[in-house]
Amino acid sequence: MKRRPTIIDVAREAGVSKSTVSRVIADDGLGVNQETKERVLQAVENLGYVRNAVASSMRTDRTNLIMLAIPDITNPYWPEVARGVQDVMDAEGYAVVFANSDWDEERETEYLKMARRNRLDGILINTVRVSSDRLKATGIPTVVLGTREEYSDFDRVGADSYVGTKFAVQHLVDMGHRRIGVILGQLDTKSKDSRKRGYVDVLVNAGISVDESLITIVPFTRAGGETGFKSLLELTPPPSAIFCANDTIAIGALQTALAAGLDVPGDISIIGLDDIDAAMTTHPPLTTITKPKYDIGRQAANFLLEQIHGDAPAMPRKLQLAGELCVRGTTAPPSNK
Amino acid sequence: MKRRPTIIDVAREAGVSKSTVSRVIADDGLGVNQETKERVLQAVENLGYVRNAVASSMRTDRTNLIMLAIPDITNPYWPEVARGVQDVMDAEGYAVVFANSDWDEERETEYLKMARRNRLDGILINTVRVSSDRLKATGIPTVVLGTREEYSDFDRVGADSYVGTKFAVQHLVDMGHRRIGVILGQLDTKSKDSRKRGYVDVLVNAGISVDESLITIVPFTRAGGETGFKSLLELTPPPSAIFCANDTIAIGALQTALAAGLDVPGDISIIGLDDIDAAMTTHPPLTTITKPKYDIGRQAANFLLEQIHGDAPAMPRKLQLAGELCVRGTTAPPSNK
DNA sequence: CTGTATAATGGGAACGTTCCCATTATATCA
DNA sequence: TGATATAATGGGAACGTTCCCATTATACAG
What is residue A246's predicted lDDT score, i.e. its pLDDT? Answer: 92
Is any Cβ of chain A less than 8 angstroms from the Cβ of B81?
Answer: no
Cβ distance B83 to A95 less than 8 Å, yes or no, reads no
Contacts of B80 in chain A (CB under 8 A): 74
Q: Which residues of A touch B86 (CB under 8 A)?
A: 73, 98, 100
DSSP state of A5: P
pLDDT at A30: 67
**How, if at all, do strands A95-100 and B95-100 pair?**
antiparallel
Determine the pLDDT at residue A185: 87
Q: Which residue is nearest to nucleotide D6 (CA to C1')?
A: B31
Q: Which nucleotide is nearest to B59 (CA to C1')?
A: D15
Q: Which nucleotide is nearest to A11 (CA to C1')?
A: C10
> What's the gap in Å between the CA of A99 and the closest CA on chain B?
8
Q: Which nucleotide does the CA of A9 lie closest to, via C1'?
A: D16
Q: Out of B78, B83, B118, whose CB is closest to A54? A: B118
> For residues B291 and B163, what is the distance between their CA atoms, to the nearest angstrom?
11
**What's the CA B124/C1' D20 distance, rounded, in angstroms?**
41
Are B282 and A280 within 8 A, CB to CB? Answer: no
Chain A environment of B98 (Cβ under 8 Å):
68, 82, 86, 96-98
Q: How far is the CA of A155 from the C1' of D2 (A)?
A: 73
Inter-chain residue contact B53 with A118, CB threshold 8 Å: yes
Ranges under pLDDT 70 in chain B = 1-2, 28-30, 187-192, 336-337
Q: Is A287 within 8 Å of A280 (Cβ atoms)?
A: no
Using a CB–CB cutoff of 8 Å, tell me whether A73 touches chain B: yes
Closest approach of A277 to chain B, Cα-based (Å): 7
Q: Which of A96, A278, A280 sits opposite B98 (nearest CB)?
A: A96
Chain A residue numbers touching B97 (CB-CB < 8 A) = 65, 95-98
pLDDT at residue number A168: 97
Listed residue (A104, A80, A214, A96) closest to A159, CA to CA: A80
- Closest residue to D18 by CA to C1' distance? A59
Of B48, B336, B320, B329, give the one whose Cα is nearest residue B157: B320
Residue A77 contacts B where some CB pair is shorter than 8 Å: no
Q: CB-based contact (8 Å) between B114 and chain A?
A: yes
Query: Which nucleotides of strand D are protein-proximal, with an atom < 7 A from a CB?
Result: 7-12, 14-20
Distance from CA of B276 to the nearest CA of A (A): 10
Do the chains contact at B96 and A95, CB–CB below 8 Å? no
A101 touches chain B (CB under 8 A): no
Q: Could you say which residues of chain A have pLDDT below 70?
A: 1-2, 28-30, 187-192, 336-337
Q: Which of A54, A60, A62, A97 to mutate: most B Cβ within 10 Å?
A: A54
Counted across chains A and B, CB pairs separated by less than 8 A come out at: 113
DSSP state letter for A103: T
Whether the CB of B80 is below 8 Å from some CB of chain A: the reply is yes
Judged by CB atoms closer than 8 Å, whether chains meet at A73 and B63 is answered as no
Inter-chain touch B74–A80, beta carbons under 8 Å: yes
Tell me which of B7, B68, B74 to substitute to probe the interface with A (most A C-beta atoms closer than 10 Å).
B74
Does B54 touch chain A if contact means CB atoms closer than 8 Å? yes
* Residue A50 at interface with chain B, using a CB cutoff of 8 Å: yes
Q: Which nucleotides of C are covered by protein (CB under 7 A)?
A: 7-12, 14-20
Chain A positions in Cβ-Cβ contact with residue B258 (cut-off 8 Å): 283
* A113 Cβ under 8 Å from any chain B Cβ: yes
The verdict on B335 touching A (C-beta cutoff 8 Å) is no
Distance of C1' in C23 from CA in B6, Å: 25
User: Which residues from chain A sit within 8 angstroms of residue B282, using beta carbons?
Assistant: 281-283
CA distance B205 to B219: 29
Identify residue A59 by its one-letter amino acid code. R
- The pLDDT assigned to A336 comes to 66
**Other residues' Cβ atoms within 10 Å of the Cβ of residue A68:** 27
DSSP per-residue string spanning A229-274? HHHHHTSSSPPSEEEESSHHHHHHHHHHHHHTT--TTTT-EEE-SB
Q: CB burial class (10 A; 0-12, 13-18, 19+) of residue B28?
A: exposed
Distance A15 CA to C3 C1' (A): 32
Q: Is A282 on the interface with B (CB under 8 A)?
A: yes
Kindly give, in sequence order, each residue whose CB lies less than 8 Å from that of residue A88, ignoring residues fewer than 6 positions away: A297, A298, A301, A302, A305
| Direct distance between the N- and C-terminal alpha carbons of chain B, in angstroms, rounded to an integer | 83
Write down the pLDDT at residue B188: 54
Q: In DSSP terms, which residues pair with B70 in a beta bridge?
A: B100
How far away is chain B from the Cα of A201, in angstroms, using its nearest Cα? 32
Measured in residues, chain B has a length of 337
CA→C1' distance for A32 and C7 (Å): 8
